[in-house]
Amino acid sequence: MAESSVPVDLFNPGQVFACLGIVEAADVLLGGAAGAFDWADSQSRFFVSAHGREPPVERVLRFLEDAEISTRAPAGWEHLDEWIKKWGKVPAVDRPGDPFPMAAPDSPATLPVVLRDGTSEIVIDYWGFTAKPDNVKFWAGSGGYPGAALFRDARDLVHGKTRQHVGDPFDLRSAQTSSFRFDWRRDYVPLDVGFSPNKHPSISMTGFPVVEMLAAIGVSDARPKRLGKLEYRYSVLGGRRPLEPLFLRAALGATTSPLPGVPIRHFAVRLDWPGQEGQARCITQVTEESQK
Protein backbone atom coordinates (compact mmCIF):
# COMPACT_ATOMS: atom_id res chain seq x y z
CA MET A 1 0.00 0.00 0.00
CA ALA A 2 1.08 3.57 -0.69
CA GLU A 3 -0.21 6.73 0.99
CA SER A 4 -0.48 10.41 0.08
CA SER A 5 -1.91 13.45 1.79
CA VAL A 6 -2.96 16.90 0.66
CA PRO A 7 -3.94 20.02 2.62
CA VAL A 8 -7.66 20.74 2.45
CA ASP A 9 -9.78 23.71 3.48
CA LEU A 10 -12.90 22.13 4.94
CA PHE A 11 -14.75 25.42 4.41
CA ASN A 12 -14.24 25.09 0.67
CA PRO A 13 -16.87 22.66 -0.70
CA GLY A 14 -14.94 22.22 -3.94
CA GLN A 15 -11.86 21.01 -2.08
CA VAL A 16 -13.92 18.56 -0.01
CA PHE A 17 -15.59 17.21 -3.16
CA ALA A 18 -12.15 17.04 -4.79
CA CYS A 19 -10.87 14.86 -1.94
CA LEU A 20 -13.67 12.44 -2.70
CA GLY A 21 -12.61 12.67 -6.34
CA ILE A 22 -9.06 11.66 -5.39
CA VAL A 23 -10.15 8.56 -3.48
CA GLU A 24 -12.72 7.58 -6.13
CA ALA A 25 -10.15 7.92 -8.92
CA ALA A 26 -7.47 6.11 -6.88
CA ASP A 27 -9.88 3.23 -6.33
CA VAL A 28 -10.40 2.88 -10.09
CA LEU A 29 -6.76 3.35 -11.02
CA LEU A 30 -5.03 1.42 -8.21
CA GLY A 31 -7.67 -0.49 -6.29
CA GLY A 32 -8.23 -0.78 -2.55
CA ALA A 33 -8.43 2.98 -1.99
CA ALA A 34 -9.36 4.48 1.36
CA GLY A 35 -9.38 8.05 2.62
CA ALA A 36 -9.66 10.12 5.78
CA PHE A 37 -10.10 13.77 6.73
CA ASP A 38 -7.83 14.75 9.63
CA TRP A 39 -8.40 18.11 11.33
CA ALA A 40 -6.41 17.44 14.50
CA ASP A 41 -3.74 20.00 13.52
CA SER A 42 -4.16 23.64 12.49
CA GLN A 43 -4.02 22.61 8.82
CA SER A 44 -6.61 19.99 7.92
CA ARG A 45 -5.37 17.27 5.59
CA PHE A 46 -6.89 14.50 3.53
CA PHE A 47 -5.07 11.17 3.59
CA VAL A 48 -5.56 8.57 0.88
CA SER A 49 -4.07 5.10 0.50
CA ALA A 50 -4.32 2.49 -2.27
CA HIS A 51 -2.69 -0.66 -3.60
CA GLY A 52 0.72 -0.49 -5.26
CA ARG A 53 3.83 1.57 -4.74
CA GLU A 54 2.93 4.79 -6.55
CA PRO A 55 1.54 7.44 -4.20
CA PRO A 56 -2.19 7.72 -4.96
CA VAL A 57 -2.27 11.49 -5.50
CA GLU A 58 0.58 11.23 -8.00
CA ARG A 59 -1.25 8.48 -9.89
CA VAL A 60 -4.49 10.47 -9.99
CA LEU A 61 -2.76 13.62 -11.25
CA ARG A 62 -0.89 11.58 -13.85
CA PHE A 63 -4.21 10.22 -15.03
CA LEU A 64 -5.63 13.75 -15.35
CA GLU A 65 -2.59 14.73 -17.39
CA ASP A 66 -2.63 11.72 -19.72
CA ALA A 67 -6.30 10.87 -20.11
CA GLU A 68 -8.10 11.33 -23.39
CA ILE A 69 -11.23 13.44 -22.84
CA SER A 70 -14.24 12.41 -24.87
CA THR A 71 -17.99 12.15 -24.54
CA ARG A 72 -20.65 9.64 -25.53
CA ALA A 73 -24.23 9.70 -26.74
CA PRO A 74 -26.93 7.03 -26.59
CA ALA A 75 -27.76 4.95 -29.66
CA GLY A 76 -30.17 6.73 -31.98
CA TRP A 77 -29.70 10.09 -30.23
CA GLU A 78 -31.48 12.85 -32.16
CA HIS A 79 -29.25 15.78 -31.22
CA LEU A 80 -25.85 14.64 -32.49
CA ASP A 81 -25.86 17.25 -35.27
CA GLU A 82 -26.04 20.00 -32.61
CA TRP A 83 -22.50 19.26 -31.47
CA ILE A 84 -20.16 22.13 -32.37
CA LYS A 85 -16.61 21.40 -33.51
CA LYS A 86 -14.98 23.84 -31.06
CA TRP A 87 -16.34 21.75 -28.18
CA GLY A 88 -14.01 18.89 -29.07
CA LYS A 89 -14.42 15.50 -30.70
CA VAL A 90 -17.88 14.53 -31.87
CA PRO A 91 -19.45 12.25 -29.23
CA ALA A 92 -19.06 8.53 -29.73
CA VAL A 93 -22.46 6.92 -30.26
CA ASP A 94 -23.30 3.81 -28.26
CA ARG A 95 -24.32 0.61 -29.97
CA PRO A 96 -28.01 -0.35 -29.77
CA GLY A 97 -28.66 -2.03 -26.46
CA ASP A 98 -25.69 -0.49 -24.62
CA PRO A 99 -26.81 0.88 -21.21
CA PHE A 100 -26.56 4.68 -21.00
CA PRO A 101 -25.83 6.17 -17.54
CA MET A 102 -28.74 8.65 -17.65
CA ALA A 103 -31.91 9.52 -19.51
CA ALA A 104 -31.10 10.65 -23.06
CA PRO A 105 -30.44 14.41 -22.75
CA ASP A 106 -32.24 16.96 -24.91
CA SER A 107 -29.01 18.77 -25.84
CA PRO A 108 -25.24 18.08 -25.95
CA ALA A 109 -24.70 20.19 -22.80
CA THR A 110 -25.09 17.36 -20.32
CA LEU A 111 -23.60 14.40 -22.16
CA PRO A 112 -21.23 12.45 -19.88
CA VAL A 113 -17.48 12.93 -19.96
CA VAL A 114 -15.33 9.85 -20.46
CA LEU A 115 -11.68 9.91 -19.33
CA ARG A 116 -9.41 7.15 -20.65
CA ASP A 117 -5.65 6.65 -20.41
CA GLY A 118 -5.35 3.33 -22.21
CA THR A 119 -5.81 1.10 -19.18
CA SER A 120 -8.46 2.83 -17.08
CA GLU A 121 -11.71 4.73 -17.59
CA ILE A 122 -13.61 7.20 -15.41
CA VAL A 123 -17.03 8.57 -16.36
CA ILE A 124 -18.31 11.95 -15.12
CA ASP A 125 -22.04 12.41 -15.42
CA TYR A 126 -23.31 14.11 -12.22
CA TRP A 127 -24.92 16.98 -14.17
CA GLY A 128 -27.12 14.64 -16.17
CA PHE A 129 -29.45 13.58 -13.36
CA THR A 130 -32.73 15.50 -13.41
CA ALA A 131 -34.39 13.74 -10.46
CA LYS A 132 -33.09 12.72 -7.06
CA PRO A 133 -30.26 12.74 -6.18
CA ASP A 134 -29.80 16.46 -6.82
CA ASN A 135 -27.32 17.02 -9.64
CA VAL A 136 -25.47 19.92 -7.93
CA LYS A 137 -25.15 21.60 -11.32
CA PHE A 138 -24.15 25.15 -10.43
CA TRP A 139 -23.10 26.21 -13.95
CA ALA A 140 -25.58 27.17 -16.67
CA GLY A 141 -23.41 27.28 -19.78
CA SER A 142 -23.45 29.88 -22.52
CA GLY A 143 -25.07 28.62 -25.70
CA GLY A 144 -25.33 25.12 -24.27
CA TYR A 145 -21.58 24.86 -23.63
CA PRO A 146 -21.20 21.24 -22.48
CA GLY A 147 -19.62 19.81 -19.35
CA ALA A 148 -17.16 17.87 -21.51
CA ALA A 149 -15.83 21.14 -22.93
CA LEU A 150 -15.64 22.73 -19.48
CA PHE A 151 -13.58 19.78 -18.26
CA ARG A 152 -11.30 19.96 -21.30
CA ASP A 153 -10.81 23.72 -20.77
CA ALA A 154 -9.86 23.15 -17.12
CA ARG A 155 -7.33 20.49 -18.06
CA ASP A 156 -5.83 22.69 -20.79
CA LEU A 157 -5.19 25.46 -18.25
CA VAL A 158 -2.94 23.27 -16.09
CA HIS A 159 -1.73 20.63 -18.52
CA GLY A 160 1.93 19.86 -17.85
CA LYS A 161 1.82 21.53 -14.43
CA THR A 162 -0.11 19.22 -12.12
CA ARG A 163 2.71 16.84 -11.21
CA GLN A 164 4.81 19.75 -9.92
CA HIS A 165 2.00 20.53 -7.45
CA VAL A 166 1.48 17.04 -6.06
CA GLY A 167 2.04 18.31 -2.51
CA ASP A 168 -0.75 20.91 -2.76
CA PRO A 169 -2.76 20.38 -5.96
CA PHE A 170 -5.71 22.42 -4.73
CA ASP A 171 -3.56 25.55 -4.83
CA LEU A 172 -2.67 25.22 -8.54
CA ARG A 173 -4.28 28.30 -10.03
CA SER A 174 -4.83 29.87 -13.41
CA ALA A 175 -6.85 32.62 -15.04
CA GLN A 176 -10.19 30.92 -15.68
CA THR A 177 -13.24 32.38 -17.41
CA SER A 178 -15.69 29.55 -16.68
CA SER A 179 -15.88 26.53 -14.42
CA PHE A 180 -18.19 24.07 -12.67
CA ARG A 181 -18.39 26.65 -9.84
CA PHE A 182 -17.28 24.22 -7.12
CA ASP A 183 -14.36 26.31 -5.85
CA TRP A 184 -15.85 29.56 -4.64
CA ARG A 185 -12.53 31.42 -4.61
CA ARG A 186 -13.09 32.30 -8.29
CA ASP A 187 -16.71 33.41 -8.18
CA TYR A 188 -18.50 36.64 -7.38
CA VAL A 189 -21.91 38.28 -7.52
CA PRO A 190 -21.64 41.60 -9.46
CA LEU A 191 -24.22 43.35 -7.26
CA ASP A 192 -22.16 42.48 -4.18
CA VAL A 193 -18.75 43.54 -5.52
CA GLY A 194 -20.12 46.66 -7.22
CA PHE A 195 -19.09 45.85 -10.81
CA SER A 196 -18.74 43.00 -13.27
CA PRO A 197 -15.15 41.91 -13.96
CA ASN A 198 -16.38 40.35 -17.24
CA LYS A 199 -16.83 43.85 -18.62
CA HIS A 200 -13.21 44.81 -17.91
CA PRO A 201 -10.72 43.02 -20.23
CA SER A 202 -7.82 43.92 -17.95
CA ILE A 203 -9.32 41.87 -15.10
CA SER A 204 -9.14 38.08 -15.14
CA MET A 205 -10.57 35.86 -12.44
CA THR A 206 -8.25 33.29 -10.89
CA GLY A 207 -9.61 29.76 -10.79
CA PHE A 208 -8.44 26.40 -9.46
CA PRO A 209 -8.84 23.92 -12.32
CA VAL A 210 -7.54 20.84 -10.47
CA VAL A 211 -10.16 21.35 -7.76
CA GLU A 212 -12.87 21.70 -10.42
CA MET A 213 -11.86 18.50 -12.24
CA LEU A 214 -11.48 16.36 -9.14
CA ALA A 215 -14.68 17.74 -7.58
CA ALA A 216 -16.58 16.75 -10.72
CA ILE A 217 -15.32 13.19 -10.21
CA GLY A 218 -16.10 13.33 -6.49
CA VAL A 219 -19.79 14.20 -6.83
CA SER A 220 -20.41 11.63 -9.56
CA ASP A 221 -21.19 9.05 -6.82
CA ALA A 222 -21.98 11.28 -3.84
CA ARG A 223 -24.04 14.39 -3.17
CA PRO A 224 -24.25 17.09 -0.54
CA LYS A 225 -27.70 17.49 1.00
CA ARG A 226 -29.89 19.99 -0.84
CA LEU A 227 -31.85 22.12 1.63
CA GLY A 228 -33.23 24.56 -0.92
CA LYS A 229 -32.51 26.06 -4.32
CA LEU A 230 -29.76 28.22 -2.82
CA GLU A 231 -28.73 26.17 0.19
CA TYR A 232 -26.86 22.89 0.70
CA ARG A 233 -25.18 21.02 3.51
CA TYR A 234 -22.10 18.77 3.24
CA SER A 235 -20.43 16.67 5.91
CA VAL A 236 -17.02 15.06 6.43
CA LEU A 237 -15.85 12.21 8.64
CA GLY A 238 -12.74 12.80 10.74
CA GLY A 239 -9.76 10.92 12.06
CA ARG A 240 -6.76 9.17 10.53
CA ARG A 241 -8.57 5.83 10.22
CA PRO A 242 -8.74 5.08 6.48
CA LEU A 243 -12.32 4.66 5.27
CA GLU A 244 -13.57 3.03 2.10
CA PRO A 245 -15.09 5.41 -0.48
CA LEU A 246 -18.55 4.06 0.40
CA PHE A 247 -18.47 5.69 3.84
CA LEU A 248 -17.09 9.01 2.58
CA ARG A 249 -19.90 9.10 -0.01
CA ALA A 250 -22.53 8.35 2.61
CA ALA A 251 -21.17 11.01 4.96
CA LEU A 252 -21.27 13.82 2.39
CA GLY A 253 -25.04 14.18 2.61
CA ALA A 254 -25.55 12.69 6.08
CA THR A 255 -26.97 14.38 9.17
CA THR A 256 -25.27 11.94 11.56
CA SER A 257 -22.11 9.88 11.31
CA PRO A 258 -22.67 6.68 9.33
CA LEU A 259 -20.02 5.04 11.53
CA PRO A 260 -20.55 5.05 15.32
CA GLY A 261 -17.69 6.69 17.12
CA VAL A 262 -16.26 8.41 14.04
CA PRO A 263 -16.56 12.21 14.38
CA ILE A 264 -18.41 14.17 11.71
CA ARG A 265 -18.58 17.88 10.89
CA HIS A 266 -21.37 19.64 8.98
CA PHE A 267 -21.08 22.74 6.80
CA ALA A 268 -23.87 24.91 5.42
CA VAL A 269 -23.46 26.38 1.93
CA ARG A 270 -25.27 29.47 0.73
CA LEU A 271 -25.46 30.28 -2.99
CA ASP A 272 -26.65 33.24 -5.04
CA TRP A 273 -27.29 34.18 -8.65
CA PRO A 274 -24.23 35.80 -10.29
CA GLY A 275 -26.36 36.62 -13.33
CA GLN A 276 -29.94 35.97 -14.29
CA GLU A 277 -32.03 34.24 -11.63
CA GLY A 278 -32.73 30.62 -12.45
CA GLN A 279 -29.49 30.08 -14.37
CA ALA A 280 -25.98 29.68 -12.91
CA ARG A 281 -25.49 29.68 -9.15
CA CYS A 282 -22.31 30.42 -7.23
CA ILE A 283 -21.26 29.77 -3.65
CA THR A 284 -21.19 32.93 -1.53
CA GLN A 285 -20.98 31.70 2.07
CA VAL A 286 -19.89 28.59 3.98
CA THR A 287 -20.43 28.22 7.72
CA GLU A 288 -19.99 25.32 10.10
CA GLU A 289 -23.13 24.05 11.77
CA SER A 290 -22.95 23.51 15.51
CA GLN A 291 -22.96 19.92 16.71
CA LYS A 292 -26.29 18.80 18.15
Into how many domains does the chain fold?
1
Per-residue pLDDT of 9-23, as tens digits, reads 999 999 999 999 999
Report yes or no: 282 and 274 within 8 Å, Cβ to Cβ: yes
Is the pLDDT at 68 greater than 90? The verdict is yes
Task: Name the pLDDT band for 291 (thresholds 50, 70, 90).
Answer: low
Provide φ and ψ at 123, rounded to 5°.
Answer: -105, 135
Outline where the chain has alpha helix (H): 13-29, 56-66, 147-158, 190-193, 209-218, 245-252
How many other CB atoms are there within 10 angstroms of residue 116's CB atom?
Answer: 15
**Prediction pTM value:** 0.94
Which amino acid is it at 138?
A: F
Report yes or no: 188 and 209 within 8 Å, Cβ to Cβ: no
Is the pLDDT at 278 greater than 60? The verdict is yes
Outline where 172-266 has alpha helix (H): 190-193, 209-218, 245-252
Expressed as residue numbers, the domain containing 171 is 2-288
The residue among 168, 162, 219 whose CA lies nearest residue 44 is: 168
* pLDDT reported for residue 198: 60
Query: Beta strands 121-124 and 34-38: pairing type?
Result: unpaired
> Percent of the chain at pLDDT above 90?
77
How many other CB atoms are there within 10 angstroms of residue 68's CB atom?
Answer: 11
Per-residue pLDDT of 204-249, as tens digits, reads 678 999 999 999 999 999 999 999 999 999 999 998 889 999 999 9
Is the pLDDT at 104 greater than 70? The verdict is yes
* pLDDT reported for residue 113: 94
All residues at 6 or more sequence positions from 250 whose CB lies less than 8 Å from its CB, including other chains = 222, 258
Distance in angstroms between the alpha carbons of the first and the last residue of the chain = 37
* pLDDT reported for residue 201: 64
* pLDDT reported for residue 173: 95
Per-residue pLDDT of 165-211, as tens digits, reads 999 999 999 999 889 999 999 886 765 655 565 655 656 678 999 99
Rounded Cα–Cα distance for residues 117 and 65 (Å): 9
